[in-house]
Amino acid sequence: MSDKKPERREFLFTATYAVGVVGVGAVAWPMIDQMNPDASVKALASTEVDISSVSPGKTITVLWRGKPVFIRRRTQDEIAEARSVKMEDLKHPEKDEDRAKDPEWLVMLGVCTHLGCVPLNDKGDYDGWFCPCHGSHYDTSGRIRKGPAPLNMAIPKYEFINANTIKIG
Amino acid sequence: MSDNEYIPKSKFGKWFNDRLPLLSLASHLTDYPTPKNLNYWWTFGGILTFCLITQIVTGITLAMHYIAHADMAFESVEHIMRDVNYGWLIRYIHANGASMFFLAVYIHIFRSLFYGSYKSPREIIWIIGIMIYLLMMAAAFMGYVLPWGQMSFWGATVITNLFSAIPLVGEGIVNWLWGGYSVDNPTLTRFFTLHYLIPFLILGLVVLHIWALHVPGNNNPIGIDIKKPSKDTVPFHPYIVIKDAFALLMFMIVFAFFVFYAPNILGHADNYIEANPMVTPAHIVPEWYLLPFYAILRSVPDKLLGVIAMLSAILILAALPWLDTSKIRSAVFRPLYKQFYWILVADVLILGYMGAMPAEGLYLLIGRVATAYYFLHFLVILPVLGFKEKTIPVPLSITEPILGGSSNLALAKNKESLDK
């Protein structure tokens, strides 16, 4: 008897702690998860954009999920410049062919991958974009070339519904 | 201390005090023996308490008129400024009060650094102080977001994006903080809630800070342990109360100057433009009190390492009681430390200036050197100095150097030999 009693008690303690931890976790999770993007935010997942009025060399900016998306109609020079870059020169190597389905149209999130500012058009050392916050330079394909940003500007999911309309998301 | 012996005079007082010893606490606080050589640098604890109360009172009144919604926040702040009776005054006190709070806390921290107040047996006071400082930065940052101007929005974007530097889970954490895919209404409402909560957390920590202080008692300008109560101490009331009150008045003159004559000088004009997620202002700068850390963030060319460097710059302070190996507290008796102390002050000011300038060219270079020196001070100079430095003998008591005695003579001699 005297040998067994402590073991039973230890088992009970351990079981109580375990149930307690699970219980606290089960109550804590809703409190944490309520801060995640809610159903109404997730519902605004796609936007359709009319691009018929964009002439070569111009960029329009549209809002998608609260973030700006750059839609640039690139000139032949810009396409040539983007495609002639060697992969070794890139911090985040990506081919321009993989970033722009239709070489004339570059569709990407206008969000600097450093700390989320909106880079400026036609600025910087690589004829693309320049982020005024901490000095990141992007090329005509939106790839990071110089500065603190670690990645190229992201390409969202998009498709051409017809020649004049792009659906983002 | 007298609280154990304290017996209230009135019958009701005794009856009450036996059930809840509030009168004993009041007696402890008024009689609390304080070193009699405390200088004006010691008045900033009281000034900081005043700052906290000011922020809470003005904050609660502003919250009666402010609307935490992305479509209405900016207008509601303008409504406070133009329509609400004395709204302009309350808001300017609150906005400049944040700056005054940080001004006072920096003086308070640098006083600790000079007189070695963080050393044994006051490590816990110091660490609670660092926690208060961290919460102050969080509260100030979230408060700055509430007017929903351009600087609010982009400051929030940049700072929350710091978390995206964390590998693998960074993106998820940022979306969780935002409650969406960008800084938006859900972000604003939660920031308002937390901005309202944090001052009360700070208040709780202030109680612990003072409680922990009352265990060993105040450090003092010569940094020696003193007997309490003794010839070296005076009661807190009225001696320290009147000194604190005078210093507070002087501080309030500075405070009032900003509120009435230059209420926007510490802010940014861009924050009077409503938040626009499509356009980033040309030059994003945090408030002046965060600039040194901002300079450290920008001086590292790698995103993750930059964030780590910035956080370490703050957290390294918590380890200070163990990084400083010298047993002598006050810089008065540490001739070398005194010089390094002033170099550190200059270094932090330089970092602050570089944080306000664009991150390029010479500014960036100086910022990098200053960042390197900041860490060098805490990680190399302080630990080594404790072993290498030849300190000046400390007096045995506060009265001894004044009334004369052998130690005083030795001190004078030592100073002479150091001068040679």
Q: Identify the pLDDT of residue B412.
A: 52
Residue of A nearest to B190 (CA): A35
How far the first Cα of chain B sits from its last, in Å, is 45
Q: Confidence class of residue A147 from pLDDT cuts 50, 70 and 90?
A: confident
Tell me the pLDDT tens digit for each residue of A112-137: 988 888 998 888 888 899 988 888 89
| Res. B353 pLDDT band, cuts 50 70 90 | very high
Whole-model pTM above 0.90?
A: no
- Report whether pLDDT(B401) > 90: no
Contacts for A164 with CB less than 8 Å, ≥ 6 apart: A50, A51, A52
Instruction: Report the residue from B180, B283, B302 with minimal CB separation from A37.
Output: B180
What percentage of chain B reaches a pLDDT higher than 90? 82
CA of B285, closest CA in chain A: separation in Å? 9
Per-residue pLDDT tens for B29-60? 999 999 999 999 999 999 999 999 999 999 99
Mutate to test the interface with B, among A41, A71, A138, A144 (most CBs of B within 10 A): A41
Which residues of A touch chain B, with CB atoms under 8 Å apart?
Answer: 32, 35-38, 41, 61, 63, 65-68, 114-119, 131-135, 147-150
Alpha helix stretches (DSSP H) within B64-149:
73-82, 87-115, 123-145
CA distance A157 to B115: 59
- B249 band by pLDDT with thresholds 50, 70 and 90: very high
Quick one: pLDDT at residue B359? 74
**Per-residue confidence (pLDDT) for residue A153, from 0 to 100:** 93
A9-63 pLDDT tens trace? 899 999 999 999 999 999 999 999 999 999 988 887 788 888 888 888 888 999 8
Which residue of B176, B190, B277 is in closest CB contact with A67?
B277
Other residues' Cβ atoms within 10 Å of the Cβ of residue A160: 14
Condensed to tens digits (0 to 9), the pLDDT of residues B210-232 reads: 999 999 999 999 999 998 888 89
CA distance B160 to chain A (A): 8
Torsion of CA A25, A28, A30, A33, to 10 degrees: -100
Alpha carbon of A80: minimum distance to chain B alpha carbons (Å): 28
Q: How many C-beta atoms surround the C-beta of residue B384 within 10 A?
A: 11
B190 contacts in chain A (CB < 8 Å): 35
Least-confidence region, from B2-6, B92-96, B124-128? B2-6
Q: How many residues does chain B have?
A: 420
Q: Tell me: the pLDDT tens digits for B313-339?
A: 999 999 999 999 999 999 999 999 999
Residue B33 DSSP SS3: strand
**Neighbouring C-alpha atoms within 13 Å toward the C-beta of B12:** 0
Per-residue pLDDT tens digits for B145-160: 999 999 999 999 989 9
Are B306 and A68 inside 8 Å of each other by CB?
Answer: no
b/e for B124-160, b at 16 or more Cβ within 10 A?
A: bbbbbbbbbbbbbbbbbbbbbbbbbbbbbbbbbbbbb
- Give the pLDDT band (50/70/90) at residue B358: confident
Going from the C-alpha of B83 to that of each of B77, B78, B190, the distances in angstroms are 10, 8, 26
The values of phi and psi at residue B144, to 5°, are -70, -25
Residues in chain A: 169
User: What is the Cα–Cα distance from B174 to B181, expressed in whole angstroms?
Assistant: 8
The alpha carbon dihedral of B365, B367, B373, B378 has a sign of negative
Residue B179 with chain A: CB contacts under 8 Å: 35-38, 41
Q: What is the pLDDT of residue B407?
A: 47
> What b-and-e string marks burial along B176-198, b requiring 16 or more CB atoms within 10 Å of the CB?
bbbbbbbbbbbbbebbbeebbeb
Q: Are B177 and A35 in contact (CB under 8 A)?
A: yes
The 10s digit of each residue's pLDDT in B255-314 is: 999 999 999 999 999 999 999 998 888 788 899 999 999 999 989 888 889 999 999 999
Q: What is the pLDDT of residue A65?
A: 85
Average pLDDT of the residues of chain B: 92
Task: Please say if the pLDDT value at position B113 is more than 90.
Answer: yes
Q: Is the pLDDT of residue B165 over 90?
A: no
Task: Report the amino acid identity of residue B113.
Answer: L
B chain contacts of residue A133, beta-carbon cutoff 8 Å: 154, 158, 280, 284
User: Residue A36 and residue B179: Cβ atoms within 8 Å?
Assistant: yes
Q: Side-chain half-sphere of B69: how many Cα atoms within 13 Å?
A: 6
pLDDT computed for residue B420 by the predictor: 47
Q: Is the pLDDT of residue B372 over 90?
A: yes
Contact state of B180 with A117 under an 8 Å Cβ cutoff: no
| E strand or H helix that includes residue A64 | strand A59-64
pLDDT at A123 (0 to 100): 84
Question: Is the pLDDT score of B406 beyond 50?
Answer: no
**What integer pLDDT is reported at residue B21 of this predicted model?**
94
pLDDT tens sequence across A58-107: 889 998 888 899 999 999 888 888 888 888 888 889 888 889 888 889 99
pLDDT at site A42: 83
How many A/B residue pairs have CB atoms within 8 Å? 89
For residue B398, give how far its alpha carbon lies from the nearest alpha carbon of chain A (Å): 52
| Contact yes or no for A41 and B279 at CB 8 A | no
Instruction: Tell me whether residue A92 is one of the annotated catalytic residues.
Output: no
Chain A nearest-CA distance from B57, in A, is 29
Q: Pick the catalytic residue from A92, A114, A134, A137.
A: A134
**Chain B residues near any Cβ of chain A (below 8 Å):** 154, 157-162, 164, 175-184, 186, 190, 277-284, 298, 300-304, 306, 358-360
| B306 contacts in chain A (CB < 8 Å) | 148
pLDDT of residue A12: 93
Query: What is the Cα gyration radius of chain A?
Result: 25
Chain B: residue whose CA lies nearest to A34: B179
